[in-house]
Structure 1
Amino acid sequence: MIKFLHCADLHLDSPFKGLSSLPEGLFQRLSESTFLSFKRLIDLAITEKVDFVVIAGDLYDSGNRSLKAQSFLKNCFVKLESYNINVFISHGNHDPLDGQWVNLDWPSNVHFFEGNSIQTLQFEKEGRKVACLHGFSYETAAVTDNRTLHYPEKKDDLYHIGILHGQADGYSGHSRYAPFLVSELLKKGYDYWALGHIHKKMDLSTEPPIRYSGNIQGRHSGETGGKGGYIVTLNGTEVESVFHATSDIEWHEGIVDLTEAESLQQVITLCERELGTYQQPPKGVFLVLKLSGQTQLFEELLDGVFLEELHEILLEDDHAESFVHVVSIKNETKPSIQDEMSIKQSGFFKDLRVVLQDDLELEQAIAELTTHKTARKYLELENQDWEEIQKQAERLLLSELHKSR
């Protein structure tokens, strides 16, 4: 039997772009959140008495690793060494081997996978070889070839674990690095595949587990819910996996249905009630509120002043250890069914909707932003969900046409 911790995508030193306008105390806590989450994972590994830790890529947020982040990791690994816990590490697209950093002396329990080829590292327990771990590190930031063909097949009774930082074929939302097919991984006969790169925990297969552990701390509103890692136990052909959320701050999306609301006071009350459902001591919560439903208050909610004042009302003055901070409020309400149908039947709306449904038109419209000195820092347009952009544009058009009636 072997027991290990699987985690990935630490992204230490993440700059948390676009969030610098947060209150200073909150931004400072968010900046330290990746470090705290990993520290909790280290403590978990010790408490669970694991044999080793697997980190499937992107320990750092960029190739230029800070001395602070490296020293922090070294101290964590030294702590694991005192408990005789090994660490197996692959570097991903955010922290490739050709990056810049200060060379530190790592403790003997730390094993890094090399670049350019698949490497097999062995794990011994009580003087006996019990497991083989197969993986590689990104030698550059863009590894675009499928390397799964080069992983060796299992041909013995040892435990075999594959470590791969890449994107499963057919999955969108991240850069298409080290692409692979699940069917290719299954052919290897491994007992477990520890995946990294996708920031959402998910199982691509259960027998055997082929799993993304997700990142260890949500960094923006698109990375919701608890983040952390898996404690995995392999015992013969049996596999037991338990996910542990260690993130200090969680992102959530709250939806407030205003279909039955008859006044702006009711809007405030419903929003305050929604906030109360997200208290998670001792965690902090960053909440994006979405106002939804077809409501008679549609026109009043188009008033930006009210939404700004609503945001101020919902903000907490004192951010204790446990808090719910409303990051933004999105108005996605619609006019009454009759008003909406009337607008959508107009020739002008139909013509513009045709444009909105043309991906090429949308890409050309947004292209200017990618060359804008300030805007381009906050955009990752290659990963955008065009369907969501179309929906947002249609909602905005509907609002403007309603106001002009």
Structure 2
Amino acid sequence: MIRFLHTADLHLDSPFKGITDMPITRLTELRESTFAAYEKLIHHAEKTTPDFVLIAGDIYDGEDRSLRAQMRFVKGLERLKRAEIPVFISHGNHDHLGGKWTRFQLPDNVTVFGPEVETAELVVHGQRIRIHGFSYKERHIKEAMIGRFPKSNREPGTIDIGMLHGSIAGEETHAVYAPFTTEALLEKGYQYWALGHIHKRQLLHNEPPIVYPGNLQGRHRNEQGVKGFYDVELELNQAALKFVPTSVLVFDEIEVDCKEISLANEWLIACQNTATEVVERNGSSILSVRNVKMSAEATHLFSGSSDDEWLEVLRESADPDVWFSELFVESQQRSSLSPESPLVRSVKEQMENWEEEDWRMVLQDVYQHARSGPYLFPLSSEMKEELRKEAGELISNELST
């Protein structure tokens, strides 16, 4: 039996774009959260000494990775070297090999796959382990790279593991890179597939395991729930996966039933009680609040003040482990398309993956217009976040009429 850790999508030094209204202490904690989550991974490895660690892409948040992020990442790798733990890395679309950055020397316990599919070998407890993978040469890889992975030769005592940063062909909730099908992965005959790119934890297949561990730390309200990595025990024909949480702050949404609420303090108590349940389950949380089942009395109550005022009052009464980020008040005439329907969510998540060139292409008619262009401000992170929200609301409103 061998044991290894499978992680992906660290997104170290994520800027948490669009989150600006938090107190400085909370905002600092949030901006340090990707590093703190990575620290939990390293600490677990030092404590439990797995046979090796797999990192399946998007170590950094962008191709122009910061010196600070690189330094913190390398320091973690050096700790794993001192613990004699090999590390295998395949870079993804956010940290591709063509990015501009000042490179650090990696310790010699680290193997980084190149732009072509390669095979790294090691022997663990007398078993031969073959790890197959590649790194993105550039940000956009539309080719189905799975065709370049070798098939297992089924040698006795040999375990084959594939590392692939990509998405299922036809998947619509994320930008599609290095597309594959489950059937194509299974045809390779590997004992484990270590995937990356999708930030939601998913087990696509049980035997053999085809696994997305999700990211180490949620970065916005569309990445809800506890995040972490997998500690995997693997034999030739059997695997046991243990999820290890690393979230420092958990993004989530609570619904508050307002059908019998007519007073402000009733609503505050309902919010606090529901939030307490989330914190007891997940730890420190950043919560969106959605008022549902609005009665006439509740509608009249909330019409008396702006959503921002209600949110401010809620924050003042909140538990220290909770930050209320947004308030949504559901109208009595419910839209036939929820703001969090798969279609709306797909559009917003696609926009979250846009680079500067994508924004420029979409908005070029506005910014290059002879009359309006000279008077427009540069597109800030806050403006982009607002455009994402408005896009979701526009789709909901248009399709419900």
TM (norm. structure 1) is 0.82
**Identity of counterpart residues, as a percentage?**
35
Alignment of 1:336-375 (within 5 A): 373-374=378-379
Letter in 1 for 2:396: K
Give the match for residue 120 of structure 1.
119
Task: Report the CA distance between 1:124 and its aligned residue.
Answer: 1.9
Letter in 2 for 1:272: Q
Question: CA, structure 1 residues 104+247, in 2 after alignment: closer, same or farther (shift >3 Å)?
Answer: same
Q: Which whole-Å deviations, capped at 9, do the CAs of 1:66-109 have from their partners, x for residues lacking one?
A: 11111111111111111110100011100110111222221110
Task: Report the CA distance between 1:377 and its aligned residue.
Answer: 6.5
Which structure is larger by alpha-carbon Rg, 1 or 2? 1
- The answer to whether structure 1 residue 137 and structure 2 residue 142 are counterparts is no
Question: CA, structure 1 residues 326+318, in 2 after alignment: closer, same or farther (shift >3 Å)?
Answer: closer
Give the match for residue 178 of structure 2.
178
Question: CA, structure 1 residues 170+255, in 2 after alignment: closer, same or farther (shift >3 Å)?
Answer: same
C-alpha distance in 2 between matches for 1:392 and 1:254: 22
C-alpha distance in 1 between matches for 2:301 and 2:23: 26
Give the match for residue 32 of structure 1.
32
Alignment of 1:150-229 (within 5 A): 150-155=148-153, 156-157=155-156, 158-229=158-229
Q: Which whole-Å deviations, capped at 9, do the CAs of 1:129-170 have from their partners, x for residues lacking one?
A: 521111100000111110101111111231111100001123
Question: CA, structure 1 residues 286+133, in 2 after alignment: closer, same or farther (shift >3 Å)?
Answer: same
Q: Which whole-Å deviations, capped at 9, do the CAs of 1:324-374 have from their partners, x for residues lacking one?
A: 110111111415xxxx89xx9xxxxxxxxxxx9xx9xxx9xxx66986733
* Contact residue 165 and residue 195 of structure 2 kept, 8 A: yes
Task: Report the CA distance between 1:273 and its aligned residue.
Answer: 2.0
Give the match for residue 90 of structure 1.
90
Indicate which of 131, 140, 147 corresponds to 1:149: 147
Letter in 2 for 1:230: Y
Give the match for residue 390 of structure 1.
395
C-alpha distance in 2 between matches for 1:393 and 1:280: 39
* Between 151-160 and 248-257, the greater mean CA deviation after superposition: 151-160
Give the match for residue 330 of structure 1.
328
Question: CA, structure 1 residues 298+27, in 2 after alignment: closer, same or farther (shift >3 Å)?
Answer: same
C-alpha distance in 1 between matches for 2:159 and 2:260: 58
Q: Which whole-Å deviations, capped at 9, do the CAs of 1:263-317 have from their partners, x for residues lacking one?
A: 3442233222222222249942100000011411354255272533321222148
Give the match for residue 349 of structure 1.
none
Structure 1 stretches of 4+ moved >6 Å: 380-388
* Between 269-278 and 369-378, the greater mean CA deviation after superposition: 369-378
- The answer to whether structure 1 residue 107 and structure 2 residue 68 are counterparts is no
Matched residue SS, 1:169: coil
Unaligned regions of 5+ residues in structure 1, if any? 345-355, 398-405
What is the aligned-residue RMSD (CA, Å)?
Answer: 3.1
C-alpha distance in 1 between matches for 2:238 and 2:44: 22
* Contact residue 153 and residue 188 of structure 1 kept, 8 A: yes
Question: CA, structure 1 residues 392+5, in 2 after alignment: closer, same or farther (shift >3 Å)?
Answer: farther
Letter in 1 for 2:20: S
Alignment of 1:210-359 (within 5 A): 210-280=210-280, 283-297=283-297, 299-300=299-300, 303=303, 305-316=305-316, 323-334=321-332
* Between 23-32 and 276-285, the greater mean CA deviation after superposition: 276-285
* Between 138-147 and 69-78, the greater mean CA deviation after superposition: 69-78
Matched residue SS, 2:279: coil
Unaligned regions of 5+ residues in structure 2, if any? 337-343, 352-361, 368-375
* Between 261-270 and 87-96, the greater mean CA deviation after superposition: 261-270
* Contact residue 221 and residue 251 of structure 2 kept, 8 A: yes
Question: CA, structure 1 residues 237+279, in 2 after alignment: closer, same or farther (shift >3 Å)?
Answer: same
Matched residue SS, 1:305: coil
C-alpha distance in 2 between matches for 1:35 and 1:219: 12
* Contact residue 161 and residue 191 of structure 2 kept, 8 A: yes
C-alpha distance in 1 between matches for 2:311 and 2:18: 18
Q: Which whole-Å deviations, capped at 9, do the CAs of 1:363-401 have from their partners, x for residues lacking one?
A: 9xxx66986733676548999998875335678x8xxxx
Matched residue SS, 2:12: coil
Letter in 2 for 1:195: L
Question: CA, structure 1 residues 104+50, in 2 after alignment: closer, same or farther (shift >3 Å)?
Answer: same
Letter in 2 for 1:276: T
C-alpha distance in 2 between matches for 1:125 and 1:268: 56
* Contact residue 298 and residue 333 of structure 1 kept, 8 A: no
Letter in 2 for 1:390: I
C-alpha distance in 2 between matches for 1:54 and 1:385: 38
C-alpha distance in 2 between matches for 1:301 and 1:77: 55
Matched residue SS, 1:277: helix
C-alpha distance in 2 between matches for 1:56 and 1:304: 50
Question: CA, structure 1 residues 21+304, in 2 after alignment: closer, same or farther (shift >3 Å)?
Answer: farther
TM (norm. structure 2) is 0.83
Number of equivalences? 367
Letter in 1 for 2:186: L
